[in-house]
Copies of this chain bind each other. A is one copy, B any other.
C-alpha cells in the first residue's frame, strides 16, 4: 500500500491482536452470528489488519457490516444452499449472508472438489461483501493448492471511453505456496484504486493521483487532486486512460464479472442495481499437476529471483506480491495492530452499547 494511505503515527493507537479478535468476534455474535461464523469473520478482518491491508480491515469495514446487520440487509444465519453442482463445480445462493463468512465455506468446497478431480470452482451470488479476496486464495495455498478468488459488486467504475459507471472494483487474487519463501499472494482491485481507498484517503487527508478518477462527464483527471465529494467524480479502471492500458483494467473487471456473476447465472449490478455481490473461488490441487515438493522448490527459486532483482534508482528493493504483507504480519503479530484513534473511539462506543469486551492497548 502506498504510504499516502497509511494512518499517520500521531493518530495511531496500537491494539493487541488477541483483543481485536475477541472484540470483533463478540460484535459479530451480538449481530446474531453463531460463534464459529463470528470467529471466522473476525479472522478475515484481523488478518487483513495484521498484513497492513487497512482498506479491508476493521477500520473500513466493521461499521458497514454492523449497519447492514442492524438494518436487516444482511442475514446473520443464512440458509445458503448449493443450487447446481458437478464433480468440479458448485453454484451457491448465499441467502444474504456476509461474504467474509460464506467465503471460507465456499473455498472449503472448492478445495474438497479439487482433491477429487484436480480443480474445484465455486461461485456464490446473493451474498454480502467478501472482504480481502486474497484471504480465501490463501486458504487454498495453505492446503497445498493454488487458490484464486474474485468478487464483483456494484457499478462504480467507468468503462474505457465511458461517462457512466458500469463495473465494480472487481478485485481478483491468486495465492501459491513456497517452501521457504513467504507465499505469493497477489490481491488487487481491477480499478485504478480500491473503493475503500477513497475513505482512507479522506481520513488521512491524502491526494488522489493522476488517472485514478474522472470528472462527472467521464474525462479522466490527470493531475493530483483532493478526494471530491460523492457524486462529483467517477472511478477509472486500472490504467486510467486508454493509452496507459485502461482497456486492460476494463477487461480484467469483466473477467471477474464473467467468472463470478455470469457463472452464477445472475445479472451484474450494471443491469440489476439491487443485485448483491457475486464471488468466484478456484482451487487447483498442486499434487495432481506435479510433485508438491517440486512446485514449492520452483516457487522458492522464482520468488528469490524476484526479491534479489537489482532495484531501479530511487528504490531499495523489489517486492513480490505478498512479501511486504508477510513481513508486516510478523511485526504486527508481535507488536499489535495500529488503528486510527477515531476507529478506536468508534469501537469503544459500540462495545459499551453492545456490552462487548472493549479493545486493549498493546
**Chain A residues close to B by CB (< 8 Å):** 2, 84, 86-89, 91, 116-121, 123, 146, 158-164, 166, 174, 176, 184, 186, 188, 190, 192-193, 209-211, 214, 217-219, 238-240, 242-245, 247-252, 254-255, 257-259, 261-268, 270-271, 284-286, 288-291, 294-295, 298-299, 301-302, 305-306, 309-315, 317-321
Contacts and interface: CB of A to CB of B under 8 A. Distances in A.
A294 B267 CA distance: 10
Given A244-B239, A321-B254, A268 B186 contact: no
Nearest to A218: B312
Given A309-B164, A311-B218, A259 B84 contact: no
A298 B262 contact: yes
B163 A311 contact: yes
A261 B305 CA distance: 15
Contacts of A259: 146, 174, 284
A60 to B, nearest CB: 20
A263 B243 contact: no
Contacts of A184: 254, 258
20 contacts: A87-B118, A89-B117, A89-B288, A89-B289, A123-B289, A146-B259, A161-B312, A161-B317, A162-B318, A164-B310, A209-B243, A209-B244, A217-B312, A218-B310, A239-B244, A252-B252, A262-B295, A262-B302, A268-B298, A271-B298
B268 A162 contact: no
Contacts of A209: 243-244
Contacts of A320: 159, 254
Contacts of A192: 244-245
A177 B123 CA distance: 18
Contacts of A270: 302, 305-306
Contact of A162 (B166, B289, B310): B310
A20 to B, nearest CB: 27
Give the copy number: 2
A313 B219 contact: yes
A254 B186 contact: yes
Contacts of A255: 174, 186
Given A88-B119, A89-B119, A188-B245, 8 more contacts: A86-B285, A88-B117, A161-B311, A161-B317, A188-B251, A211-B244, A218-B311, A263-B295
Contact of A318 (B91, B118, B159, B319): B159
A159 B306 CA distance: 8
A302 B250 contact: no
Given A88-B88, A310-B163, A265 B294 contact: yes
A312 B162 contact: yes
Q: Which 8 A-B pairs have the closest CB atoms?
A: A265-B290, A218-B312, A86-B118, A89-B118, A186-B251, A88-B117, A161-B315, A87-B117
Given A118-B88, A289-B84, A251 B321 contact: yes
A18 B220 CA distance: 43
Contacts of A240: 244
Contacts of A285: 86, 89
Nearest to A190: B248
B265 A298 contact: yes
Contacts of A249: 245
Given A310-B163, A312-B161, A321-B247, A301 B238 contact: no
A242 B2 contact: yes
